[in-house]
Structure 1
Amino acid sequence: MDYIDTKHVAAELKRRLQDAFPGVKFSVRKGTGTASAWISVHWTDGPSTTDVEEITRPMQGSQFNGQEDRYESTGNTVTVTVKGRKVTGSPLVDGIDTHQEVSEDARKAAADLWSDARDGEDPSLHSNGGFHGALVIDGHTIEANYTRTQVLRIALLVILPQRWAAATEQAAQTARPASTSEEGEEAAEPLTLTHTDEDGTTVTGTRLGDGAADVLTRHDFKWHRKNQYWYAPGSRNKEADTEFMAAVAADLTAAKLRVTTALSEPTPTA
């Protein structure tokens, strides 16, 4: 049987992850030294570890049997491209570590939920500790633990799944033709989330009572009375914070609002 070198498996794994989860940036690295037959995968927010491991599991050629203290073959085979030629064989990979990072924006949203569940208590007051009882948020039990750990669990169990579901739905809506209402009328125009040097990050197209205001104020947007749009303070004359914009778009979509995102072309420099 042919064996596929770890580096070729890592390259194929990254391609599969990008195909499965478009828009998510994955770092896929081959181990060094004694871990040379291992691969590590890192990403921020996006899909859950369970979802990612559905892609990584078939790429592992062996796994550790703790009872017998040895590695055993998984029987998996993979097909990769090496120098323009398709090669199929057993992957020389003993294990694949997955690490989902949580962005600061997601942690902030989780901290807000923690505060709401604690009658407005500020989680930052317990940044160096503070042990609290269990919470139930959005149907998920957050076990008793230190404040920072509880906030992280809320981000992983509530915030990130909601945002990923919203992002997936938004991608599906983008791929479909414009929908119509039950009466046959055209659906409301989508909101537009834009970043320009002149105005910074703005949202236009909102309507009174559509729910956008609650989402945008949660992300610290302000209403511009003269120009009639929402804007992110301090974002003018700066590069677009794409991670922030993605989080805003995901939360607007989760609130069942259609939203399109646009970035201005960078201003040429001399």
Structure 2
Amino acid sequence: MDYIDTKHVAAELRNRLKDAFPGVKFSVRKDTGTASAWISVRWTDGPSPAEVEELTRPMQGAQFNGMEDRYESTDNTVTVTVKGRKVTGRPLVNGINTHRDVSDDALKAAAVLWSEAHDATEPPTSGMLDACVIDGHVIQENWAPQQMWQIASDVVLPQRWAAAKEQSAARAARPVNARKEGDEGAQELTLQHTDEDGTTVTGTRLGDGAADVLKRHGFKWHRKNQYWYAPGSRHQQADAAFMDAVAADLRATDLTVTTALPELAPTD
């Protein structure tokens, strides 16, 4: 049986990841030099490494046997498209490395969860932190940055990804005519930042999907003023990157969002 070149396997893997995880941007690269038969896959937030490896594992043609210090065939076969023609063979791939990066937005959400579990105490940015429990997950004693990373990886990202999959399934299940009617009557949300109120979202409706998105970003519901607000954002500078991330996730649920940032004060 023929072997499939590493670059063709990488191209096929990129397509499979795109189909399996819509909306997630993957970097799929063929390594060079002595590792030229290896592929590296990298992405930010989204699915867990285990979910991604369910797709990468069948495309690996060999695996390293540490006991005997050599590569052994996996007997996997893969079908790829080369110059418009379907070709099946053994993947010339000794291994596939996967790495998920954690966004700053997810780390901020992790800090909010840590604070909620410690009587609203602001999380330290350095030093060793004691072990704690966040949403039923045991967070190990570790340095502050590493503990925030674990909270983001074990709590924030799985919750966000589960919600994203539910929303995607719900959109796919909606009849086409229902989607069109919904689009015509869709409300417009306003995401804005003021010194007095901080970062807020107005215009949401019960069941429109905004609540799940905003909760994932750490927003809370203000019953008196009837809007969502980001705790700790009052009398602070607007976080444009945070607001962009929130707006993007709201739009991903088919909601219309207008973003209003405060104007910069003129300089002399």
TM-score (norm. length: structure 2): 0.74
In structure 2, distance between residues paired with 1:191 and 1:160: 28
When residues 78 and 234 of structure 1 are mapped into structure 2, their CA distance, relative to the original with a 3 A threshold, is same
Query: Cα distance, 1:194 vs. partner?
Result: 7.1
Q: Summarize the alignment of residues 192-207 of structure 1 with structure 2, pairs less than 5 Å apart.
A: 204-206=203-205
Greater mean alpha carbon deviation, residues 212-221 or residues 53-62: 212-221
Q: Determine the structure 2 residue equivalent to 1:268.
A: none
The AA in structure 2 aligned to 1:29 is R
Q: Is the 8 A contact 1:134 1:141 kept in 2?
A: yes
Q: Which of 166, 169, 174 is the equivalent residue of 1:172?
A: 169
Q: What's the counterpart of residue 245 of structure 1?
A: 247
**Cα distance, 1:26–1:39 mapped onto 2, change above 3 Å:** same
Summarize deviations over 1:119-147 as a string: whole Å, max 9, x none: 22222xx32x3112211111111111111
Percent identity over paired residues:
59
The amino acid across from 2:246 in the alignment is: F
**Partner in structure 2 of residue 31 of structure 1:** 31
Residue aligned with 2:254, SS: strand
- Aligned twin of 1:260: 254
What SS class does the counterpart of residue 260 from structure 1 fall into? coil
Letter in 2 for 1:204: G
Q: 1:104 — aligned with what?
A: 104
Deviations 1:56-114 (A, max 9, x none): 00010001000000000011110000001111111111111111011111110001111
What is the aligned partner in structure 2 of residue 184 from structure 1? Answer: none
C-alpha separation in 1, matches of 2:221 and 2:35: 46
What secondary structure does 1:46 align onto? coil
- For the residues of structure 1 that align with 2:69 and 2:49, how far apart are their CA atoms? 26
- How far is the alpha carbon of 1:231 from its aligned partner? 9.3
Shift of 1:118: 2.2
Distance change (3 Å), C-alpha of 1:4 and 1:115 = same
Q: Is the 8 A contact 2:109 2:217 kept in 1?
A: no
Aligned to 2:84: 84
- One-letter code aligned to 1:111: A
User: Aligned residue pairs: how many?
Assistant: 231
- Look up the equivalent residue of 2:90 and give its one-letter code: S
5+ long unaligned stretches in structure 2: 176-184, 192-199, 231-236, 259-268
2:160 is aligned to 163
Name stretches of at least 5 consecutive residues in structure 1 with no aligned partner.
179-188, 196-200, 251-258, 265-270
Amino acid aligned to 1:206: R
- Give the Cα separation in 1 of the matches to 2:239 and 2:186: 22
Report SS of the residue matched to 2:72: strand
Q: TM-score scaled to structure 1, two decimals? A: 0.73
Change (3 A) 1:155 1:230: closer
Give the residue type in structure 1 aligned to 2:165: T
Instruction: Tell me how far 1:222 sits from its aligned partner.
Output: 10
1:117 CA drift (Å)? 1.7
Which amino acid letter does the alignment assign opposite residue 244 of structure 1?
A: V
- The residue type paired with residue 254 of structure 2 is T
